[in-house]
Chain A
């Protein structure tokens, strides 16, 4: 687990960067058993076409560049690509958008990913406190975190009880529990995510400074969760 993750981290450091792009961050998460989509980094259009075929249309494409942190602002996330023809077209567009946004952007490749079923959005994050060390954050995504700042923290490492209590104590918990006739979300999957992030950060303590898994889609009870986007900032 640690070895695989360290390989990714060392490579990023060797290239003189201190933050992992989505693809790299997800490699680290995957090494610790966190659920990430079955997606691949294409360096060329041919690779992209082959991966899309393997994954199955429709697919999404996300351009990976260390200089582009806000991918949607730069319009380098293109969704619901249905055919190889469309993919060829979008391949041009996504590169053009990147160049317009940051002419100097170094392009590591394009992530070809399956279109995910939309779930309830949560955010899981890590920050480092100067006195207490790494802390884990949990909240619901979107307006709940942006506007209401409805999040809760624990110092890493956490226990399963801590994880369950974190989930229950945010104000928007009823949305996960199933408000207004909705089915309950997969709470066990969230618990598992929180514990795995805690384990990962505890293990890679000396390397990781901060981390955002935002958003994570959580599906209905028994259907799991998946990390949709991720960032890791190194020390």
Chain B
């Protein structure tokens, strides 16, 4: 097994977790984390053992409490620490003696709070390095893995929903962002296979996680919310490795300029932190997201269409509303893509099956009196046409003669059998959302506006071009 997989595996699927600082006081961090594991154990999701550690307690809700790290059973392979910062270094020494190799330090109050904190961080890191221990944190919410029941997110379930499992990994420095994002993803129906919040990033960093996810079959898209990178070269190398096999999407905050003050050359004054990150992302094939929404629009597209990357940039648009078609065409230009020009054969095929008032072309407008069959002819033509690389199907479910379930089944069928990526756009309110969800559950990414659908496809095109470039 790869070394990195061996090292990080216990964070995601431990045999036995020690919760250091577990308590019976409701709402305390050490209690929420214990409850998370306990509930997941009761649900049959968490299969490992749970060992609370607290010198002042004998048992919590039927679980035996260990007085010290030294007393822990020998199968403990993950320690989650939520005790005050000043006790963490000595606890790390106990952990080292016990031979536990994976530690999540939830506790805050380290490097982010000044010199003494930084000194403690250095001490912790030294113990970790000397004993081959990997550390996530400190000052973080840790790890969430719905499939294995690992959940160190100290925001209780009654306050924060957890997303279902899915092929997307999400990595972030910020704990607050992690919590908000998980809650939001749960609401939006986006599946998250693994979430890591690494806080001060004392040890395990973006590069380590990228290397781990290369080998993780459960994950096929990796998303990062990046505030800063410590070791730039290590980041670049790891990014180059993973993007060869899996798409990586990054949202980078802090677009402030720093160049002007430090630089004495003209070039230096033109180089902001942001321009450098842009360069790094371009050279490593990382897709940069503009914002939170864009990141998950991309993640959704990649999760469904990773194996159907477009061969080119020629987009075909099918719509049942002229305005929506125009919006999509505008977006094609805006995001640097091209409108496909349909082959003669496709045009003839469409004219043959369309009533005279429907528009064969690009966009193809099946118009407001469409039924599901008209969509089928259009999609069939676009899928067959060699001049079309990717397809946007806009469905305004509101039109009177359209059987919603029939058109959903047609879309799902073509999305499955076509080698070209197909995304759907459904604009509307509650009723539309209802059908969009059904369509999405059948594996077709659905977007609420033409612009967002096309922008997601642009991400696929960008990644596809990168792969072509590196593979020559």
Which residues of A are in contact with B by a Cβ distance under 8 Å?
A: 19, 123, 125-129, 131-133, 135, 137, 139, 145, 149, 151-155, 158, 161-162, 165, 210-212, 214, 231, 233
Which residues of B are in contact with A by a Cβ distance under 8 Å?
A: 228-233, 235-236, 259, 263-268, 270-271, 273, 275-276, 278-280, 282-283, 469
* The residue from A135, A210, A211, A212 contacting B276, defined by CB atoms under 8 A apart: A135
List 11 interface pairs A-B (beta carbons < 8 Å), by A numbering: A19-B264, A125-B265, A132-B236, A132-B280, A133-B232, A133-B233, A145-B266, A152-B275, A154-B282, A211-B267, A231-B265
* The residue from A127, A131, A155, A162 contacting B267, defined by CB atoms under 8 A apart: A127
Instruction: List, in ascending order, chain B residues with CB within 8 A of A137's CB.
Output: 267, 270-271
Complex CA–CA separation, A128 to B263 (angstroms)? 9
* The residue from B229, B231, B266, B469 contacting A125, defined by CB atoms under 8 A apart: B266
Q: Could you count the A-B residue pairs with CB atoms below 8 Å apart for me: how many are there?
A: 85
Instruction: List, in ascending order, chain A residues with CB within 8 A of B273's CB.
Output: 129
A212 touches B266 (CB 8 A): yes
A155 touches B280 (CB 8 A): yes
Q: A155-B280, A210-B264, A233-B264 are in contact. Are A132 and B271 (CB under 8 A)?
A: no
> Chain A's nearest CB lies how many Å from the CB of B334?
15
> Chain A's nearest CB lies how many Å from the CB of B226?
11
Complex CA–CA separation, A145 to B230 (angstroms)? 30
Instruction: List, in ascending order, chain A residues with CB within 8 A of B229's CB.
Output: 131-132
> Chain A's nearest CB lies how many Å from the CB of B232?
3
Instruction: List, in ascending order, chain B residues with CB within 8 A of A155's CB.
Output: 232, 236, 276, 279-280, 283
> Chain B's nearest CB lies how many Å from the CB of A201?
11
User: Of B229, B267, B268, which is in contact with the most chain A CB atoms at under 10 Å from its CB?
Assistant: B267
Additional A-B contact list (8), CB under 8 Å, known A133-B233, A155-B279: A125-B265, A132-B229, A132-B236, A145-B266, A153-B278, A155-B276, A158-B283, A233-B265
B271 — nearest CB in chain A belongs to which residue?
A127
* The residue from B231, B236, B264, B276 contacting A153, defined by CB atoms under 8 A apart: B276
Instruction: List, in ascending order, chain B residues with CB within 8 A of A158's CB.
Output: 283
Instruction: List, in ascending order, chain A residues with CB within 8 A of B231's CB.
Output: 131
Complex CA–CA separation, A12 to B276 (angstroms)? 30
Instruction: List, in ascending order, chain B residues with CB within 8 A of A210's CB.
Output: 263-265, 267-268
Instruction: List, in ascending order, chain A residues with CB within 8 A of B271's CB.
Output: 127, 129, 135, 137, 153
> Chain B's nearest CB lies how many Å from the CB of A229?
11
Instruction: List, in ascending order, chain B residues with CB within 8 A of A211's CB.
Output: 265, 267
